Amino acid sequence: MNTKNIKNMKMRDFLTLLWFVVKISLISFGGGNSLMPIIFSQAVVKKGWISKSDFDQGLILTNLLPGPSSLQMMALVCIKKLGAFWGVIATVLGIFPHVLLFFTLFILVKNLPSRYLVTFNLAIFSTIIGILLGFCYIYWKKDKNSMNKLVYYTVLLLSFAYCLFVPSPYNLAIVPILVIIFIYSVLFLFKKWKKKRDFTN
């Protein structure tokens, strides 16, 4: 393959990833986690730009880091496919139309009565809940033979309860992650202590 063909392929990859960021960012109503199923569907299932393992690790990492998780996940996909420099360029250029559109919308809706905004928000929240439930089902369907169902359903129900009943800004994503790490650490240390005790007896 000659240099010209390689350059054409790289440019095609760059434009494809740029359109991916534009497309995902323009439908980004409701925050980062509501977009993760769409990013998963595009980047892992349809295009195969990153593996499911990379996506899972990115999902954990983006929820631990401050800032918009959907933007971080899109940057991860672009960097994995294009390299650090061009991945960052594609992400920055890709979110620019989103910034312009929503800045314009922000100015336009400032004078709207609040009842219209409440109705709009309710519609968005219903859509987000549906998308997240679909995402949970996809994960369960793919890994149902390898995962512990009790743990899966417990984490799922507690996560939804946490999101629904703990008000903002206290419902930070890092809190349930730290709780799960703490519980697993306690169980691990208890099992280790019990094993050591049984061995000495």
Domain ranges of the chain: 3-111
Nearest to 23 by CA among 78, 65, 63: 78
Q: Which residue has the higher pLDDT, 20 or 169?
A: 20
Q: DSSP assignment of 35-92, as one string?
A: THHHHIIIIIIIS-SS-HHHHHHHHHHHHHSSS-HHHHHHHHHHHHHH-HHHHHHHHH
Residue given tokens 């359903």 in the structure block? 153
Closest C-alpha among 63, 78, 10, 36 to residue 178: 63
Q: What's the chain's length in residues?
A: 201
For residue range 46-102, what is the model confidence (pLDDT) as tens digits? 888 988 888 888 888 887 777 778 888 889 999 988 888 998 999 899 888 888 888
- pTM exceeding the 0.75 threshold for the entire prediction: no
Residue 30 has pLDDT above 60, yes or no: no
pLDDT at 31: 60
